[in-house]
Each structure stands twice: as structure tokens, then as C-alpha cells.
Structure 1
Amino acid sequence: MVEHLIQQGPNGAIARPANPYLIGVVFTVDRTAGRPAAGPAVGPGSTPAFGRVDGRVQVLSAGNSESSFVATSVAPATGGGIHFSAIRVEEYAFEAKKPFVLMEGSMVISGTCE
């Protein structure tokens, strides 16, 4: 579940946006493929879970009792640019809810997942 959200503003400062609309959102990531398995859409082709539907996802580490789940997503963007996302889930944490951090565009999202 998303518990914290900060976003880079036009002056480069990172702060909580006036409307942190993703707080409380629950999502699922398929740890094998790295793709979003469930979650509400936040924009065309995207979810707060991880990356864009049209993106190329690469699982860098599946995670286990000693390491984190880590994946990246790259998708085409307007003007020849790219959308880039990265997620890290502390699979090794002893707690039932595992801490995660997700960089999605100019947002940094964190919370816990089961």
C-alpha cells in the first residue's frame, strides 16, 4: 500500500504534492515478470504499481530472504523520450509487510507490501 509520496517540482525541490492522490492505493506486482498484476490506472497506459503497460520490464533481482526484489521499466514517451521506473522491495525484511520504494517519473513512492 502506498503510504508516502513526494514529487519533484518545477524548481527542482522534492516535496509532497498538494494532492497526493496515490496515498492509500493498493497494488500488486508480479515478481516473476515484474509487471503490474493489479492496481488502479493513474494515466494512459500506467499504474502506480510499476511502469507503463507498454514498457519493457526487466527483473534485476527476484529477491529472497537475503536480498531485495529489484526491477526497472522503460517505455517510449512523447518527443522521442522515455518513461523510466524502478522498484525495490525489501524481500529480506522479517516483517510480514515488506518495505518498498518506487521511482515513477518525477515521483518517489514508498510504503509496504505483503
Structure 2
Amino acid sequence: MTGPLTGIKIVELAQMIAVPGATHLLATQGAEIIKIENTTGGDDLRMYGSRKGNMSGWFANANSGKRSIGLNLEEETAKEILRSFIRDADVFIEGFRPGAVTRLGFSADE
């Protein structure tokens, strides 16, 4: 998709609706969104409400236009993969409680 945000790369580490909904709007304006999901079922929104297979309508609406990858962020290899995505991105956005990303081993200085 092209638009005013074409060429902007965003890494999203979030679940449910607030952040995924916001980044979906950015994707509609041309941003490239890489969604990071856990490896034990993905975003909880996948199973919220009626669904087809492993994808609910809510999930499809909030995440269309994105690429996603499942990473187990308890493993160092997965953390390095996420770090490489963040290094290549223009924006890193997360939607967890304060300190959650720090507890995973990431800092704002990265």
C-alpha cells in the first residue's frame, strides 16, 4: 500500500486492540508494520469473538496489512531477531505495562 508513510518501518510488540488498531491505521497510510507475536498462540485477539480457523474478525480488522512473526522472547535467539528488526526500524511501539519490555531484557537505549 502506498501513502504518506511509505518507506516508514514500524515494529509492533503488542496484543489485543489499542496498539494493533493504531498501527493498522499507519499501515493504511503506507507504513510497513512488522507485528511480533508470541509462539504459544499469538495475539490473544486471534481467538476473541467469532472466528474462522485461528483468526477472528477483530484480529483481521486490527492487523490487516501487516507482516507478523512468532518469537519466544524468553530465548536469546529470538531476542536477537527482535533487536535486528528494531535496528532496521524507524519506530518501535509496544503496548504492555510499564517495565514489561525492560523485564524481557530490552532498554530504550537500544
Same fold (TM over 0.5): no
More strand by share: 1
TM-score (norm 2): 0.29
More helix by share: 2
